[in-house]
């Protein structure tokens, strides 16, 4: 896992053809908007989170975010334990995101 600033995260994401954006927030938080093309897997689903993560392609690069960066850091650590090699945590999370936002 690597922690990236908002600018680093956006820059790496834009240049990465193997990228997947992963939102680990709750449905209530997601209703406020998401980073475009993000897939949503709520980290508070517990074992359900693990099961959903295990369905993902470990060869992809994952750009993970939550509201402020804490849960996404935790998600990156879990993903690394499950064999994911490239996970990037968004420092400051969605609350500090200044890029494009999509509605669900």
CA 48 → CA 24, 44, 62, distances in Å? Answer: 12, 9, 19
Q: Which residues are catalytic?
A: 66
Q: Two tokens at 15?
A: 């240049």
């Amino acid at each position: 896992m690597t922690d990236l600033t908002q600018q680093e995260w956006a820059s790496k994401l834009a240049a990465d053809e193997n990228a997947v954006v992963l939102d680990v927030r709750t449905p209530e938080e997601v209703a406020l908007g998401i980073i475009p093309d993000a897939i949503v897997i709520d980290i508070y689903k517990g074992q359900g989170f693990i099961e959903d993560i295990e369905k993902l392609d470990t060869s992809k690069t994952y750009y993970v975010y939550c509201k402020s960066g804490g849960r996404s850091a935790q998600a990156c650590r879990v993903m690394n334990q499950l064999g994911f090699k490239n996970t990037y945590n968004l420092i400051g999370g969605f609350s500090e995101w200044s890029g494009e936002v999509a509605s669900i």
